[in-house]
Amino acid sequence: MSTKRSIKVGTVVAAGGLALAGLTTMGTGVSNAATLQTEGSYPSRSACMAAGPGVEAITGGNWTNYWCVPDRTAAATWRLVLTN
C-alpha cells in the first residue's frame, strides 16, 4: 500500500514540475517580445490609431503591429507603441 501512495505523490510532484516549467517558458517568451515606443504624443486615442499605419521606426526591426497606450507623462494624451 505504501508503494501506491509514493507513486501518486511522485506523479503529483512531476506534474507540478512540468506546470512550473511551462509557466517559466511562457514568461520568457513574453519578456523577449520586442516593443518600441515612438516619440511624440497624440491628443486622442483615435488620432493615435489613425497615425499608426504610417509610423516608421528610426531603429531597425520588423515592426508589424502597433497599439496606443495612455501617456504616463502627460494627462489626456496617447503614445504609439510598435511591436513585432
Question: What confidence tens digit (pLDDT) does each residue in 63-81 have?
Answer: 888 999 999 988 999 999 8
pLDDT of residue 28: 42
At residue 78, the pLDDT reads: 96
Contact 65, 83 (CB under 8 A): yes
pLDDT at position 62: 79
pLDDT in tens, 4-58: 555 565 565 556 555 655 554 444 444 556 777 777 789 999 999 999 888 877 7
Distance CA 52, CA 82 (A): 8
Helix (H, G, I), strand (E, B) or coil at 37: strand
